[in-house]
Amino acid sequence: DATIEFRLFRGTLNMTTLRATLQLVDVLLDVAKTRSIAWIARSSWLDIIEAGFQHPELMTYLDKRGLAYGPLSDQILNDRRGN
């Protein structure tokens, strides 16, 4: 039985950051379990972000850091802002 350990993030006491990082791990696990190796090999950061659009803290976290971009992420963030 194989185990994968994620060590991507620094520690934080900020609950929004903690939720966002856990949501990113959830998206990465979902992509790994449901997508083909070929899809993963040709995917981009935007493809991964679009897979995580249902996570509000993650989208806000990425937007604040300039990491969420593209038509879908813009639409999601604008909808959340009421634009």
Which tokens is 44 given? Answer: 């981009």
pLDDT of 76 reads: 62
| Helix, strand, coil fractions of the chain, as percent rounded to 5 | 65, 0, 35
pLDDT in tens, 66-77: 887 665 566 665
Q: Is the dihedral of CA 13, 16, 17, 23 positive or negative?
A: positive
Mean pLDDT over each residue of the chain, to the nearest integer = 81
Rounded Cα gap, residues 80 and 70, in angstroms: 16
CA distances to 4, 7, 11, 44, 73 from 50, in Å: 23, 22, 25, 10, 7
What does pTM read for this prediction?
0.71
pLDDT in tens, 31-48: 989 999 999 899 888 888
Q: What is the mean pLDDT of residues 8-15?
A: 84
- For a pLDDT cut of 90, what percent of the chain falls above it? 16
